[in-house]
Structure formats: C-alpha cells, structure tokens
Amino acid sequence: MAGDSATKIKAYAVPAVLFSLSMLYQLVLLPRAFPPSHYDVLGLKTYCSMEEVKEAYENLESKWNSGLEIPTTTEFIKIRYAYELLTNPIWKRNYDVFGINEQDHVLEKLSQQYAGEKFSNIALPLLRTVASDTGDDAFNVITSKEFQSMFQDSKPWLLQVYSYGSNQSAQFANSWKRIAALLNGVANIGMVELGEVQVAAYLSERKPMGRFFFRNGLPSVVAFPSGCKTSDCLIRFEGELSVDAVIDWFAMAVLNLPRIFYYSKESLGPRFLAKSSPHKVKVIFFSKTGERATPAIRQAARDYWNYATFACVLWREEEFSVWWNTFGVESAPAVVFLKDPGLKPLVYHGSVNDSWFLDVLEQNKQQELPQLRSLTSEELGCDARGYSRAGRDTLTWYCAILAGRLGPELDSMRETMRRVQETLSKSSELKAASEDEHSITAAVALKSKRLTLSWLDGETQKNYCFFYLNIESSYETCGPRRVPTDVPRLFIIRYERNATEDTFKVDKKAKSIWEFYQQEVDPAAQLSVTYNGSAEVSRIIQWMSNIIEDGDSRKLPFYRVKTPELVPEDAEPFWSRGPQGLLSKSMGTKEKIQRTIIRIYDYLGDPRIGPALLLGALMSFGSIWLMRTQQNRSVQSSQPSQADNGDKLKPRERCRERNASKRNLPPSITDFEPKDSYQMPLSDSD
C-alpha cells in the first residue's frame, strides 16, 4: 500500500504543483497586483464621471453629518483622498489613463498624524495643486502634429513627459532649464504634456494587459538617439532626476561621449599625466563646484581624441600652493594646456565658453614640435604618398625629423628643435643669430610650408626609423632599448614629385616583376641625409639651409622606394564602436538581472496567469489519469487469456512429451521384427 501511494504521488506531482501555483497566484499575488482603486473606496464603477464622484461623496457626507455612520480616521482620509483626486480633472485624467497617483504617500502620513482623533479635526483639503510653468523658451512643448515631423533633424532628442498638475514635474522645472542650457546646440529638447494622450501613450510603457504606465512616475525622461524615429530604439532614463545624472546618462548612452574624470593632487600625476600618450596635449579643467564637464566639452574630447587628453580637478583653497607651483593656476575656474616637455603650461582663467574653448583647442591641439604619426604624416607633409603642406603644385619639399626613444635625451633634443623652429619663425632673431646669409633659406622654406620640423618615437616606429637611419649605430636610436644611453638623431628627407607622371598617370597591368615593383613604390622620390654636427641652434639651421639650397638647385636622382607604414600609436577608443555597442558593453550582469526581474514583476500582474496554471494542472491531471487507467485495463485483460491458453496447451504438451519419450527409447526385439531376420528351423520340430 505504501508503495502504491508513493507511486501515485510521484505520478501526479506535476499537476499538484501547477494547482498549488495557480491557487497561490490567485489568492496572494494577484490581489497585491490589483489593490482596491479609489473608485472602489467610494463604491463606484471605474472611470465614472466627476458628477457621480461628487454625488457619492455627498451621500456619504450626509450620513456622517446625520450621525448614521461615523467613519474612522483612516476611512475618512481614504474617502476624502479619493474624492479630491477624482474631482480634479488633470489628476483624474492622469489616474484613469496612466495610473499616476504621485501623492499616495499622503495617506500614510495623515493616518499617522491624526491617529486617535476625530475625523472632523482633519484639516482640509488633503491635497495641494501646483501648476507647472512652461512659459520659458527652453520648454519646447510638443503637440501631436509637431511630434510627427520633429525627427527630420539629425540631432538626437531629449523629451520630458510631464503634467500640469504634477508636483514633482513642478519641482523638476528648474533642473530641466539647466539641462536644456547645457545641451543647447548638442541635442534637441522638448516636453510632452499628458494631455497629448496619443504622444504620451506612445512614449509610455505597457503592462501585459495593454495598460499604459510610467514606471517611475512623472516626470519621465526619454531620448531618441540620432537616426532613431520609432519607440523601438527609444532609451529611458531610470536613475535619479538630477542635472548631473541626466546629463551624464544622455552624454554616455545617447551622444556616445566619453567621460572626463576628476583627479586629486595625489592621483593626477600617476593616473593621468603618466598614463597619457606622450604625443597628446594634456588639457586640465579646474572647477570649484565639481560638476561634470558639459556635453560640448565632452564632444570636443571625442573629436580631438587623437590630439589631446582631458582631466578635471576639484579646486581647494588649501591646495593653492601646489597648483600654483606646478601649473601656475591661481584660482578656479581655469583651463591648463600642457604641451611639450619643459614648455611652460598655457593657463586660461575664468569661465569656459564652449565656442571659445573650441577655438583655443583648435589652436593648441598640436605640440609646439609636432610628432610624426600615422595620423599626422600627411598633415605635416612627411609622407611620400601625399603632398607638401604648400599645396599640390609644390614638387619639392622637405621634412626634418628628430628620432629617438622617449627619455631625457630626447626631451633635451626636442627642446633644441623647438628653439630652432622659433628662430626660423622669427626672421629678426635669425639675422642676429647667424652671420651666414644662406641660413635664411630654411626660414623661407618654413614660412612657405615647404619645410616641416617634427619628432619620431624611434621605439614605436622602429621599422620607419631603421629605414632612414640605416647605419651601424642605429640601435641607439631605433627599436627597443638595448644600451643604457639613448642617442637621438636628426635627419632630413627631400621629397620630389614628377609633375608629368602625376598628370598622365594611367592604370595598367604590370607585364613584368620590375613593372610590378615600380607600381608598388611611393609616388614621390626620397633622399635622406643624417645630421652629424653639434646640438647648437645656429649649426642646425645652417645645415638645413644648405640641404634645402642644394636640393633646390641641383638635379638629384629620382629615386623612389616603398616606405614602411607608420604604426598607429593608440588603440581604438571605446566610443568609436557606436552607441549600441557601447550600451551592450556597459550594461553589466547586474543591469541585465534587474531588467529580467522587472519583466517578471510586470508579468506577475497578468490575471491570465492564474487560470492558465489551473488549466495546465487539470489537463495534466486528466492525461495522467487516462494513461494510468488504460495501462491497468490492459494488464487485467491480459492475465485470464494467458491462463486459458495455458490450459488448452497442456494436453498437446503432454502428447508431445509422450511421443518424444517414445522416440528416444532404444529398439527392442519385442517392438518390431528386423528386416534381416529369419525363422530358424528346428530339427526336432514337427
């Protein structure tokens, strides 16, 4: 018996579990998901008119005044709250369409405040109405007609869904003005009032039963990224409603902009200056408030990522001496540009205007002595596949390159080359510094953009460095460090283009290996010369002038080769992968789990789940019972047939056994007469 019971329990386990879940859902979870509405408190049908609400409340009030019914304090507060909510046209609309009830905390507060007192002592009204001011130009209120045509602009949109009767929307008004000011010129700003039911419903979320709602209430902030025109790609803000949080979310998730982090006096050196690429200009913002960088500055940080790195510092008066001695900053706000090593920082005090900052950044994006990189080679005119900075009509130009590994030796020589560049840029100082009139040739070439001065990281660009410094001691300058001392070297490259070949260039297939090699080489011919003199400014200028004068006056061999490619110095920034890739990357396991829990919680309020579980329990119970019944019947019907067959087969089996036993007996003289037998006659027989 115990075994049969255990078998039955095991067989019916699935329908039992489904039935238990359906009862749990119907009796516990579903009532919590659908608490009594304010219409139920007044004994009215849902979505009834305000006249019916007033009539129901007046009937209750007459009973209270006559003494027929005396409500408790809690009952009176609930009834009065429902009456005030449902007799306000805006509140009633918000509650009926979107389920918004942002003042429900008043119920618990007043119940505790007036506990033990008579209902007549409660101060009325319970709720206060606050109207939002949308008269400011920053509040671009969007109607249904305007919503259909607002996506013609390529800029992203940031929208706030609000209500005139929402206290929280009124409190958020000043913050929204600040957000609109910060995003001016970067994104389009708009507002949608809940009275525009079609637009508000389009921007809202939907419960499993199809009801519109805003999960975090009002105001609700949503964004449409650039190119997004439907709600499928709409992004919702789910954090705390503050200027800093909204701006940072919009800049990261929608505009795909990088963050500019804050550093202290202890972390600025090791975590920012030491880790920044040596070829980039360092831009440091000093702030008194600690606010994040504006979207315009963060957009500049993205656009100028190849040229500059950005950091923020919170200004403290007690740290004045540190920043004054380090950068020359005496107050905040201020912006500091750190360029070449040993060069005095460039400091700007005062508030930063976006347009002014972009102009200053464009002027100072390069170091005083620019670095030759894969990104800047054509811009500097130091690329045999490109052209001179002077223009495409210039057939001969020069590029003086200082190569070496990063270190104090290279920094010292870079400072010398900066003085050379400054001297060549100022013709008056050039005449005083040099007695040789031929030295003016380099100054003229620099002014006409036929000469460029730059420096090269010999360790990173080792192939490029070895290609031009093909000497026995080039390992002291190029490639990984092998010796304790580094030797920076200066060399100049003369580029020359063939005007006839550029004009009549025709694409044709190579007929031989030599022609194929000729097609692979760079279009400009190159000749390089290495400087072996002292590090004096005048000597270097005179040497460059002699090289340029000689290259312009003589007919030199037109020698073309394939120059090694410059290696990119920086990895691809994370924001270059696009907003969707950024979101998927930034969305960690915690956020995914939270979204899954929210979805499950939304479906717990679906009244169809309970009946579905009950139906599943009944169907599984019926199918299991039917299968077990059929099995029992087949077993019972098979037992008597087997018995009868056994009885019928017994005589046959006996006959077979008898025949088999006879067949196996040995032959006997009494059984049959053998064939070769005969009767022997007897002599004495009659």
Which CATH superfamily does the domain covering 144-254 fall into? Glutaredoxin (3.40.30.10)
Whole-structure pTM value: 0.74
Who has greater pLDDT, 274 or 571? Answer: 274
- Give 143's DSSP letter: -
- Give the pLDDT band (50/70/90) at residue 492: very high
d(CA 454, CA 446): 12
- Give the pLDDT band (50/70/90) at residue 663: low
pLDDT at position 338 is 96
Average pLDDT over residues 515-520: 51
- Give the pLDDT band (50/70/90) at residue 219: very high
d(CA 156, CA 160): 14
Do the two domains 144-254 and 374-507+516-553 of this chain adopt the same fold? yes
**Beta strand extents in 198-356 (DSSP E only):** 205-206, 212-213, 220-224, 235-236, 262-263, 281-287, 308-314, 334-338, 346-349
pLDDT at position 589 is 66
d(CA 297, CA 305): 12
Which of 28-37, 290-299, 331-340, 653-662 bottoms out in mean pLDDT, i.e. has the lowest?
A: 653-662
Which of 165-174, 210-219, 313-322, 649-658 bottoms out in mean pLDDT, i.e. has the lowest?
A: 649-658
Tokens linked to 367: 């170091």
Residue of 301, 517, 302, 541 lying closest to 421 (CA atoms): 541
Give residues with Cβ within 8 angstroms of 506, minimum separation 6. Answer: none
HEC string of 622-638 equals HHHHHHHHHHHHHHHHH
Residue 27 has pLDDT above 90, yes or no: no
Tokens linked to 627: 């299968």
Could you report the per-residue pLDDT of 75-121, keeping only the tens digit for each?
999 999 999 999 999 999 999 999 999 998 999 999 999 998 888 89
d(CA 189, CA 184): 8
Q: Is the dihedral of CA 391, 392, 395, 397 positive or negative?
A: positive
pLDDT at position 559 is 85
HEC string of 498-545 equals CHHHHHCCCCCCCCCHHHHHHHHCCCCEEEEEECCCCCCHHHHHHHHH
Residue 244 has pLDDT above 80, yes or no: yes
Tokens linked to 510: 């190579």
Residue of 426, 664, 613, 649 lying closest to 25 (CA atoms): 613
d(CA 344, CA 193): 54
The answer to whether 280 touches 309, Cβ cutoff 8 Å, is yes
**All structural domains of the chain with their residue ranges:** 34-129, 144-254, 262-364, 374-507+516-553
Could you report the per-residue pLDDT of 475-486, keeping only the tens digit for each?
999 999 887 889
pLDDT at position 586 is 43
Helix (H) or strand (E) holding 398: strand 396-404
pLDDT at position 339 is 93
The answer to whether 220 touches 236, Cβ cutoff 8 Å, is yes
| 374-507+516-553 topology per CATH | Glutaredoxin (3.40.30)
Could you report the per-residue pLDDT of 65-75, keeping only the tens digit for each?
888 889 999 99
Give exposure, 490-510, as e/b (b: 16+ Cβ within 10 Å): bbbbbbbbeeeeeeeeeeeee
Residue 679 has pLDDT above 80, yes or no: no
- Mean pLDDT in the chain? 84
- Give the pLDDT band (50/70/90) at residue 590: low
The answer to whether 95 touches 38, Cβ cutoff 8 Å, is yes
CA distances from 273 to 276, 342, 347, 434, 588 (A): 5, 14, 17, 38, 29
Residue of 71, 79, 84, 59 lying closest to 119 (CA atoms): 71
CB-side neighbour CA atoms (13 Å) of 615: 5
Who has greater pLDDT, 436 or 482? Answer: 482
Q: Is domain 262-364 given the CATH code 2.60.420.10 in the classification?
A: no
- At the second CATH level, the architecture of 34-129 is Orthogonal Bundle (1.10)
Tokens linked to 666: 């040995």
Q: How far is CA 14 from the centre of its chain?
A: 43
d(CA 397, CA 390): 8
Residue of 174, 171, 162, 251 lying closest to 200 (CA atoms): 162
The answer to whether 263 touches 290, Cβ cutoff 8 Å, is no
**Beta strand extents in 164-290 (DSSP E only):** 188-193, 205-206, 212-213, 220-224, 235-236, 262-263, 281-287
Who has greater pLDDT, 348 or 677? Answer: 348
Q: How far is CA 389 from the centre of its chain?
A: 39
Give residues with Cβ within 8 angstroms of 334, minimum separation 6. Answer: 285, 286, 347, 348, 349, 350
Bridge partners for 400 per DSSP: 453, 492
CB-side neighbour CA atoms (13 Å) of 150: 23
Average pLDDT over residues 535-554: 93
- Give the pLDDT band (50/70/90) at residue 587: very low
Order of all β-strands in the sheet with 396-404: 451-457, 396-404, 489-496, 525-530
The answer to whether 15 touches 617, Cβ cutoff 8 Å, is yes
* Other residues' Cβ atoms within 10 Å of the Cβ of residue 467: 17
